[in-house]
Chains A and B, each alone.
Chain A
Amino acid sequence: MAQWGFYFNQDRCIGCKTCVMACKNWNDSRRGDVAVNRYREADYQVPLGAMEKSAHFINPANGLTHYEEFRKFHMKEDWRWVDTHETGQVIQQPNNTFESSFDRRYLSNSCNHCDQPACVVACPEGIIYKEETYGIVLVDHENCISCGECKTACPWEAPQFYTPEFDKFEMSDPKRPKMTKCTLCIDRITEGLKPACVASCWNRALDAGPMEELRKQYSGKFMVTVPEFESDYVESLKMNTKPNIMFKKKGQV
């Protein structure tokens, strides 16, 4: 097995979230509610002359667009997400000029496919496992009981459910959310392609590959395994989960 992981260059990340959108775009068929909430062209259409007695695409009660209704048809889970870190401030001086110590950094996160994943240990059903070829952390959803232990155990809350109220459903409810998570686009990397997030990254800040290869390729100044400003990563250090990620920290060139 050649363990795969991510590389993230904070000097290049402009926080655009293209990676997040590309992830949702590619993995739409893997979202937790794909079986219960699917948009079909035949829906939301009313035959000619039948509209008088039928509701239409706009909420008839108050005339507002039906945002919640739209939301059904896309991936709610964030397998990848972007955090913003802000420090410092802008102050207006007595002479009306601005003095700024403000700075902003972005951090694109996903499951880091740890060597010792906390989620695997936490799962009471034992359905989360390290896949053999690339060391990807995968889940066998069929037997998920929606307890959320994996989400709680993971320093980043990388295991996801399509609704925050995932533990409020009856076991027999077909809508009960089952855990889904980043698969490192195993379908794509098996074909020799990049994961969707890496392929999309607008400013080329992300990479993924065998960790050994990444370590060789990226080295030098500002390179860290755990960014000290990121509490989730500090947590993972304490828990010794050994995430498979390398960072280039933001620093002035």
Chain B
Amino acid sequence: MGKLNTLLNRKRVTRRDFLKWMSAVVAVTSLPGGNTAWGKKPYKDIVSVRNGLVFDHEVKVFHSTGGYNCGSRCHHKLHVKNGRLLRITSSGDIPRKDSAASDESVGEIGNPMQRRACARCYGGYIQRLYQPDRLKYPMIQTKSRGDITGFKRISWEEAIEYVAERTAAAIKRKEVLGYVPILQKLPWGIYGFPSIVNEHKPYICLHGNESSGFATSAKFDALGANAYANSMSDRFNSDLVITWGLDSSRTTYWNEHGHWFSTKSREAGVANVVISPNHTDVAAILATGTTVTVDGNTVKIPGWIPIRPATDGALAVAMAYVIYKRNLHDKVFLQDKCFGFFKGQKIISTAPGTNLCGQRYNTQFPPGFEEGHEFTDAAGKKFKTGEKYAGASFQVPQGESFQEYLEALELAPDPRDKASKQGQNTQRWSTRKKGIPFVHYHDKAVDIAVYRGVIDFAARLTGVPSEIIEGLAVKYATVNAAFLEVGGGPQRAWNGYEWSMATIALAAMAGHTDKKGGGPGGFMLASQPEKMCATPLPQIMPGTGINDPETDNIIYIPMGSWAHTVLTGKDYRDRESLIRDTRICTRGALDLTGREKLLEIDLFFIRNLNVLQTSEFVNKKIEAIKTLKDFIVVDQVMTASATYADIVLPAATHFEVEGIGISIASACTFMMEKALDPLYDTMNDEELVALIKTKVTEKLKDGAKNTEKPPETTADGPTREQMTQILFTMGQPSEFYKKHVDPNAKEISFEAFKQQGFMDHPVPAEKSIVGFRDINVPGRLENTTGRINLYSPFWGQLRPSRRDATGRLLSGMRSAGVCYLPNIEGYESFFKDNDVRKAFTGYRSPVSNRTYTLQYITNKARNRAHTVFDSNPMIKDHFPQTVKMNPMDAARRGIQNGDIVYIYNDRGCIKVPAELSHYIVPGAISVEHGGWYRPHPSETVTIWMNDQEDDKYRQKTVPVDIGGTDNVLTYDFSMKEIYISTGINAQGGACEVSKTKPA
């Protein structure tokens, strides 16, 4: 071992390593027959290399921003000549002289932060625009789905005719079914993209959010749908930043240049600690570590705290326990501003909202939504649907407060306990006997062994050493202000909701929630209050009726398990729940009772989304797509999903139309100038949808020619021009901004905006916004109680009879109180009796009887925004899709750096090169999210799939994926009891890695 350690101890990754991985990837992807029929003709327009050394002044520069679902937006400068996009630069591209003030800015009034583009846009966009795989004209599949040699070019007339014909056929089925058997990703689309069937409700729509689903659910329950955290710049006012499950140097969506804020705050002396199973780039560069004194001893807290996948909730709960046991919790804040910490706490709701509030797109049904349902409060008073919560009494039931939960962690496993009998000792962590009372640490009578027992258990489970758990908890609770910078990683797991809730509880216990330099934890995802400095997007888009709980009429199914619905007619809800929820969805109009197949889906219409692999269980999704009547894809390039389409329609890019781009979580608005004429035979989305709809209307009128002009504004909302105007107006500084940050902020004209390319309303550190002080004040939160809920009455009233001894619903979801929930295939299940104190056995799958000893994580890739740009060699050559594994795990399997390996479990198998590094903890592997699915032409494996309504697993033979798609490995479970917005079960499932192909 000594020699091995020395060998493994130093590693340098150079260009040569990349060449090695690259050639390994090429070896599996280009396979026999890598020929080409083109490129024979010599190019005539040769550019002299020497000419390139002189600046070309004929190039015109246009303003733009990223156009895909990144969330963060950056300022792009497009260099265009002769109708061709030659180069992209970004906001750092300014004259060198005296540029320091602008370069170094983190957002001062009059000197906004440069929003510099990252490797993705620099390396991806031009190659996406001009690449052989760009969709250039409509094509129809003439062979079977997935066979890309079967695509043939057709004219737009033929294409629109085909799509309209199929769409109309599906719409007509409403007469029989009572709903339109068309599945859409979003009800209305992000930022104004219309739907093809919005007039024909109810249709079926995916619900939830891949990036933030579980955290948003937790936010809804605990803090209200519209709560905001602290501004990005507020970290400068912190004494400690704990970055949890977030690599701000590579995350998209809610990051908003967090890496730069962190860099500058670290340079200003703010300590930073990173918690993650992998040594993130933030951990590599920004983490400082810190020290704390516990009982007179100095504890060193490292910059990187490695943790086991999907055990983050256990660490949060253990930290809460330490804070509580040591009596460091903020009792006044918990008593006055929160609900559910103290045993038996009884309060009167002061919530301003009704039980109809909430964002339907992101959250679940509010309680009492069903027509005629009455909600009974603790005092026996009845509340009807639509009534305000204010005045309702709430009380935490016995045993369900967070205080009682933390105290119970100390108990010894009890063989008479039902959970213990089933080998689920997940909530009994120590040795205290029942009947012996709980005492705080400072009391003389404290049994140190009991206290140590809890922390040691958590250490064994999470991998974080006991003294670090204790030290971090004490540090967090005792510094003046600490910022819990939570990421999306841990909540992209089955138990992510619980982790989110636990971090909200931690912040509240430490009293940081409403503090400058602090923050509420739990839900930072796209909740930065910078958004308030311009006007946030309305939840209910005018004229669409979507997201409006009063009028919405769409059948929602959980996003991750749509393949299950296509195959079985239902999702993971039991039949009764699905029938009930559909009735609610359709205002009682649709009753599915007695139908053999509850929900039928004929047609799936997808635009600019690689839907095959953005959520779980890819092999099941392929199976589902194959059974659909119609699968229609609109996209810019031939994605993995597009290869399975019946027809592909080529979309123009945002370079080819004028528009406005906004970032999800800041007040920055970007001009997107029309820089190019539409390339090839492509069409922009709105035009395309309008054409389809006109044709569909014709068809539905039994062939009668539709002479009406398509209306300017339909039920689909505003046109693109109107949308540009709306977004421009919304981008102006808000009254809130003038009140809290800059009283002199002025509106700017459209001309000035166009010339500058963007408008930004910076929030400097000294003017930082504290969400829970300036916007959402505890007591007036838009949830059930108006307070920060550490006990959720929403979950509390859901079938309380079907809870087990530990307070969980019987399906494993959800406790009404804050707790730790073991992940499905979580680390506990790798031990005898699901108890980490017993022998390590590996995870034994009851389905396949195979044993798996590793757990996967699916963190973000540098080179892709989700799945976008994976087909671009320029960027991908520098970020080959590999499996990252710890050299110790590799050595046990005889795997060396660069070896091609199989990563597999019951659900599928991928084949990529192994990249060995201590970057990741032993026992875990990382497959970065978004590699494009590519079936191997000959290699296959056996998998097990629950593709029928009986939910039994049946063997299937599927191809090995050589694209390295993370979601080939993930499971697609959603809740049994109730409809809830879901996230993705992307982390912590079981798998194995081998040099030889499994059977």
Write the residues of chain A forming the contact surface with B, with a CB cutoff of 8 angstroms.
11-18, 20-22, 24-30, 34-41, 43-52, 54-75, 78, 81, 83-93, 95-100, 102-106, 138, 141-142, 164, 174, 180, 183, 186-194, 196, 198-204, 209, 250, 252-253
In the docked arrangement, what's the CA distance between A6 and B983, Å?
Answer: 45
Chain A residues with CB under 8 Å of B152's CB are: 51-52
15 residue pairs from A and B, CB less than 8 Å apart: A14-B285, A22-B89, A24-B874, A25-B87, A29-B86, A35-B47, A44-B38, A48-B153, A52-B152, A89-B9, A97-B465, A102-B304, A187-B53, A199-B89, A200-B89
Given A14-B249, A73-B127, A88:B9 Cβ within 8 A: yes
Residues of B within 8 A of A209 (CB): 96
Residues of A within 8 A of B45 (CB): 38
Contact of A74 among B127, B137, B149, B922 (CB under 8 A): B127
- From A17, A65, A99, B871 is in contact (CB under 8 Å) with A65
CA gap between A57 and B12 in the complex, in Å:
37
Nearest CB of chain A from residue B814's CB, rounded to whole Å = 28
Known: A67-B30, A74-B874, A102-B918. A199 touches B47 (CB 8 A): no
- How many angstroms from the CA of A9 to the CA of B932 in the assembled complex? 35
Q: How far is the CA of A15 from the CA of B49 in the complex (A)?
A: 30
Q: Does B118 contact A (CB under 8 A)?
A: yes
Task: Looking at the assembled complex, report how far the CB atom of A115 sits from the nearest CB atom of chain B, in whole angstroms.
Answer: 22
Task: Give the complex CA separation of A13 and B285 in angstroms.
Answer: 7
Question: Given contacts A17-B878, A38-B43, A200-B116, are A85 and B12 in contact (CB under 8 A)?
Answer: yes
Partner of B459, one of A16, A97, A141: A97
Contact assessment for A141 and B87 in the assembled complex, using a CB-CB cutoff below 8 Å: no
Fill in one digit per residue for B853-888: 1 if any A CB lies within 8 Å of its CB, else 0. Answer: 000000000100000000111110111000000111
Are A253 and B34 neighbours in the complex by a CB distance under 8 Å?
A: no
Contact between chains at B93 and A74 (CB < 8 Å): no
Q: Select B874's contact among A69, A75, A250, beta carbons within 8 Å.
A: A75
Known: A16-B862, A98-B463. 8 other contacts (CB 8 A): A16-B249, A18-B116, A67-B26, A91-B922, A92-B888, A138-B53, A199-B94, A202-B116
Contacts of B90 in A (CB 8 A): 199-200
For the complex, give the distance between the alpha carbons of A25 and B125 in Å: 10
A65 close to B29 (CB less than 8 A): yes
Name B25's closest neighbour in chain A (CB-CB).
A67
Q: Would you call A187 and B55 a contact (CB within 8 A)?
A: yes
CA A204 – CA B877 in complex, angstroms? 24
* Number of chain B residues close to chain A: CB under 8 A: 126
Contact A164 B19 (CB under 8 A): yes
* Closest-CB distance, B94 to chain A (whole angstroms): 8
Contacting residue for B130 out of A16, A41, A60, CB 8 A: A41
The yes or no answer to B923 lying at the interface (CB within 8 A) is: yes
Query: Pick the contact of A69 from B36, B92, B151 — CB < 8 Å?
Result: B36
- How far is A37 from B42 in the complex, measured between Cα atoms in Å? 9
Residues in A with CB closer than 8 Å to B249 are 14-16, 202-203
- Is the Cβ of B130 less than 8 Å from the Cβ of A58? no
Contact segment of B259-267, B431-439, B614-622, B769-777: B259-267
Chain B residues lying within 8 Å of A188, measured Cβ to Cβ, are 55
Is the CB of B123 closer than 8 A to any CB of chain A?
A: yes
Q: Mark B47-76, 1 if CB is under 8 A from A, else 0.
A: 101111111100000000000000000000
- Chain A contacts of B871 at CB under 8 A? 65, 67, 70
Q: Which residues of A contact B49 (CB under 8 A)?
A: 29-30, 34, 141, 180
Chain B interfacial positions (CB closer than 8 Å to A): 5, 8-15, 19, 26, 29-39, 42-43, 45-47, 49-56, 86-90, 92-97, 99, 103-104, 116-119, 122-123, 126-127, 130-134, 136-137, 147-149, 151-155, 249-250, 259-260, 263, 266-267, 269, 279, 281-282, 284-286, 288-289, 302, 304, 306-307, 456, 459-461, 463-466, 638, 679-680, 836, 862, 871-875, 877-879, 886-888, 917-923, 932, 934, 937
Q: Are the CB atoms of A191 and B55 closer together than 8 Å?
A: yes
Q: How far is the CA of A71 from the CA of B848 in the complex (A)?
A: 41
Q: A26-B89, A64-B31, A199-B93 are in contact. Are A92 and B55 (CB under 8 A)?
A: no
Q: Which of B94, B123, B873 contacts A67 (CB 8 A)?
A: B873
Could you tell me the distance between the alpha carbons of A176 and B619 in the complex, rounded to whole angstroms? 45
Least CB separation from B147: chain A residue? A63
> Which residues on the B side are within 8 Å of A103 (C-beta)?
284
Q: Would A193 and B47 be within 8 Å (CB), given that A17-B862, A26-B87 are in contact? A: no
Contact status A192-B96, CB under 8 Å: yes
- Please report the C-alpha to C-alpha distance between residue A36 and residue B289 in the assembled complex, in whole angstroms: 52
- Given A62-B32, A252-B288, do A21 and B306 touch, yes or no (CB 8 Å)? no
Q: A18-B118, A97-B465, A253-B269 are in contact. Are A48 and B154 (CB under 8 A)?
A: yes
> Within 8 Å CB of B886, what residues of A?
90
Given known contacts A64-B31, A92-B922, A253-B266, A204 and B8 CB-to-CB distance under 8 angstroms = no
Most chain A Cβ neighbours within 10 Å, of B117, B266, B874:
B874
Specify the chain A residue showing the minimal Cβ separation from B33: A61
- A194-B92 contact in complex given A55-B37, A70-B872, C-beta closer than 8 Å: yes
- Judge whether B149 and A58 touch: CB under 8 Å: yes
| Residues of A with C-beta under 8 A to B19 | 164
Distance between Cα atoms of A16 and B260 in the complex (Å): 13
Contact A21 B34 (CB under 8 A): no
Cβ distance B22 to chain A, nearest Cβ, rounded Å: 10
Cβ–Cβ < 8 Å partners of B104 in chain A:
204
Q: Which of A50, A141, A200 is packed against the most chain B CB atoms within 10 Å?
A: A200
Is A70 touching B32 in the complex (CB atoms < 8 A)? no
Contact with B921, one of A62, A98, A174 (Cβ below 8 angstroms): A98
Which 3 pairs from chain A and chain B are nearest by CB?
A: A61-B33, A21-B123, A55-B37
Contact B680 A45 (CB under 8 A): yes
- A49 to B158 alpha-carbon distance, docked (Å): 12
Tell me if A200 and B92 are in contact (CB < 8 A).
yes
**In the assembled complex, which residues on chain A have CB atoms less than 8 Å from the CB atom of B836?**
96
Residues of chain B within 8 A of A22, CB atoms compared: 89, 122
CA distance A93 to B461 in the complex (A): 12
**Selected contact of B29 from candidates A24, A67, A196, CB within 8 Å:** A67
| Chain A residue contacts of B267, Cβ below 8 A | 253
- Interchain CB contact under 8 A, A199 and B92: yes
CA distance A37 to B119 in the complex (A): 23
Are A59 and B288 also in contact (CB < 8 A) when A86-B11, A104-B919, A253-B267 are? Answer: no
Check if B127 sits within 8 Å of A105, measured CB to CB. no
Contact for A89 among B5, B93, B95, B118, CB less than 8 A: B5
Residues of B within 8 A of A89 (CB): 5, 8-9, 887, 918
Known: A90-B918, A203-B260. A187 touches B52 (CB 8 A): yes
Contact of A192 among B95, B123, B136, B932 (CB under 8 A): B95
Specify which chain A residues have a CB less than 8 angstroms from the CB of B33 in the assembled complex: 59, 61-62
- Using known A-B contacts A61-B32, A63-B149, A65-B29, determine if residue A18 contacts B460 with beta carbons closer than 8 Å: no
Complex Cα–Cα for A91 and B152 (A)? 55
Which of B5, B119, B288, B304 is the one whose CB lies under 8 Å from A18? Answer: B119
User: Across the interface, which residues of A come within 8 angstroms of B259, CB to CB?
Assistant: 14, 202-203
How far, in whole Å, are A50 and B155 apart by their CA atoms in the complex? Answer: 12
**Is B42 within 8 A of A87, CB to CB?**
no
Docked complex Cα distance between A41 and B677 (Å): 12
The answer to whether A57 and B116 touch (CB under 8 A), given A48-B155, A204-B260, is no
Smallest distance from the beta carbon of A163 to chain B beta carbons, Å? Answer: 11
Q: Closest CB of chain B to A240's CB: distance in Å?
A: 24
Q: Do residues A46 and B131 form an inter-chain contact, with CB atoms below 8 A?
A: no
Are B153 and A46 closer than 8 Å at their CB atoms? yes
**A47 vs B96: C-alpha distance in the bound complex, in angstroms?**
48
In the assembly, what is the distance between CA of A188 and CA of B151, in Å? 45
Taken together as a complex, chains A and B put the C-alpha atoms of A73 and B129 apart, in Å, by: 12
CB neighbours (8 Å) of A74 from chain B are 127, 872-874
A86 touches B10 (CB 8 A): yes
Q: How far is the CB of B246 from chain A (nearest CB, A)?
A: 13
Cross-chain contact A64 with B119 (CB below 8 angstroms)? no
